[in-house]
Amino acid sequence: MRENVAVTGIGLVSAVGGAVTEVFDAVCEGRSGLVRPPADHALHGVVDVAAIGPAIDPESVIPAKDARIVDRSIVLAVRAAGDALADAGIEVGRDVDPYRVAVVLSGVGGLGTLAGQAVERSRRGRLGVSPFMLPGTLPNMAAARIAIRFGVRGYTSSVGTACAAGGQSVGEAMRILRAGDADVVVCGCTEAPLFPTFADAFGNALALARGWSDPTVASRPFDRRRNGLVLGEGAGVFVVERPGFARARGARVHAEVLGWAATSDAYHPTTPRPDGSSAAESMRLALRDAGLSTGDIGYLNAHGTSTKAGDAAEAKAIRSVFGDGMPPVSSTKGVTGHLLGVSGMVEAAISIMVLRNGLLPPTYNLDDPDPACDLNHVRKEPLPARVGAVMSNSFGFGGHNVSLILGPAS
């Protein structure tokens, strides 16, 4: 078993809140973030339902001279990173050498900027395209902007594994810390995908929830009537540290990352391997990395997107790993929607709150469990349970599978 890492800071931006306690209360109480896009939103009339994050003034997180040229995804990322660093009580340069801090911050990139610039080029020709489009759309720019804003001068990168990117960013941060290449890593994901062209691609692929008169019931992981995911936006950032470094500076530790693993389906660009075998292997490898057995996991936060194929494949994977000794399982996307790569961050944060509060959030809208998703579901209401370790799964287009295991601070 290799060294754990300490989670000392959490910053979230989502349709159900920013403070981790607010997000946890929402998923426990069923306070949904799913709405029909209002008339002034880009997705009005395009999709039936979305998980829309809060309005944030760019100048509140980015210097005024740059605020007008940054994409919303960057604004969300810098806000979440600032909140996470404040939560950790870290000021780069004061509390830690800037060269001993790393950033691993992922996401699709500046879809809104790209969409807007395509319109300008169509309207005005070549001269309508801004040179600022490049730093507005590149997927590494959220990481770069965080480094610029907070003075981070160590290793900086992004992970491009679609909806597994948030979970994998935490894993890559763990790899960096275990290797001794940093003392602190700012890691996470940001997504601002709520634009017509992107949404239409999901809709034409029949991947979006549709036909629900009440938007709050549209996302229904593992339910027999599920018919697609609900697109969401937001950001999630952790500050993680070497445990010895965190102890030396007297940091409060929320939880520890005990282990992680990633595998590939090697099957199809968008469809998961139906038998869930590669997803199952990511869970087994994460357990091995943490030095734990299946019986040590007291709760599993599933990826559970509310798609027919994805939920069924994940259910097979979970059952093949845990069998009849399966821990309680839930997907919190019934309340939060699917924030793409950010989901792994929000769900890891929820898993940390499970460890702290001894309460397991249910899968909301799971009214009629699909027999193809035969799991030990937490349904209807939260389940009191004191657990010693939790698993959080994230899976992405391209067949990327990531499993994280978290435990209480030692």
Choosing from 28, 163, 189, 373, the catalytic residue is 163
Instruction: Enter the DSSP assignment of 136.
Output: H
Does the annotation mark 163 as catalytic? yes
Among 301, 241, 242, 309, residue whose Cα is nearest residue 270: 309
3-state class (DSSP) for residue 184: strand
Burial of 267 per CB tally in 10 Å (0-12, 13-18, 19+): middle
Token pair of 5, please? 């890492």
Token pair of 57, please? 């003034």
Choosing from 189, 254, 303, 373, the catalytic residue is 303
Contact between 110 and 71 (Cβ < 8 Å): yes
**Separation between Cα atoms, residue 87 and residue 251, nearest integer Å:** 10
The per-residue DSSP string of 293-326 comes to -GGG--EEE----S-HHHHHHHHHHHHHHHGGGP
Does the annotation mark 338 as catalytic? yes
Does the annotation mark 254 as catalytic? no
Token pair of 30, please? 């069923």
**Separation between Cα atoms, residue 50 and residue 33, nearest integer Å:** 8
Amino acid letter at 365? N
Choosing from 338, 373, 377, 400, the catalytic residue is 338
- Active site (catalytic) residues: 163, 303, 338
